[in-house]
Amino acid sequence: MRILLAEDDAQLAARLTDDLRRRGYAVDVAADGIDAEHQGNEVPYDAVILDLGLPGQSGLDVLRNWRARGNAVPVLILTARDAWHQKVDGFNAGADDYLGKPFHVEELCARLGALLRRRHAQHGGIVATAGLTLDEASQAVVCDGQTIALSGVEFRLLRYLMLHPGQVLSKTELVQHIYDDDSDRDSNVIEVHVNHLRNKIGPQRIRTRRGQGYVLEAAP
């Protein structure tokens, strides 16, 4: 899953980026509101962590502009502004969740995970489909009762497939959602990682649609 972190505190942004990447997210960073709005308009992010106090343009204006354009990306507001009326302003502008500073990164990640699961109709605090259960803490998958370790890219790829069961996903879409801007984004490598996943979870679970992409079968 690919996340936009819009935060002007360079030290906080660096720490959060490291924490999120360790938890299996691809992360892009915007340090001001103008860049944040532009990136959110150009890239199909799975979620945004948005500071309200951004320079150049406030996070609240960024969010309002996204919603006015029909951009429904899930947004978690992250800010030191914790007065109740500011929370209300954020929710009225279209925010999906709110976390005040200071905070524990574990809570941030829990809220972010819940936001993504709700968006993809995954309930019960876990990602599970097609006879597979994702262990996000250890970045592994439970398949037929066996826990199987995954590489970082395999984990991000399988999580995206599991959140879109039965859907045809092109190589381009997969690249957009499992890599950040700092990564070598060669779409041909996707086939290699898909084959690695097939070797681990069974070849029947991920089907190739020639000229279209890949489908994770909704039933095992």
CA distance 81 to 77: 10
Which residues face 157 on adjacent strands? none
- The token pair at 88 is 């209300």
CB atoms within 10 A of CB 38: 12
Domains of the chain, start order: 2-119 (3.40.50.2300), 127-216 (1.10.10.10)
Backbone angles phi, psi at 29, to 5 degrees: -120, 135
pLDDT at 187 over 70: no
pLDDT of residue 105: 93
CA distance 194 to 182: 21
pLDDT tens, 30-57?
A: 999 999 999 999 999 999 999 998 999 9
CA distance 37 to 59: 9
- C-alpha closest to that of 163 among 57, 46, 84: 46
pLDDT of residue 124: 63
pLDDT at 220 over 60: no
Cβ 59 vs Cβ 86: under 8 Å: no
Average pLDDT of every residue of the chain:
90
Cβ 47 vs Cβ 25: under 8 Å: no
pLDDT of residue 79: 81
- The token pair at 124 is 């019960």
pLDDT of residue 184: 63
Question: pTM for the complete prediction?
Answer: 0.85
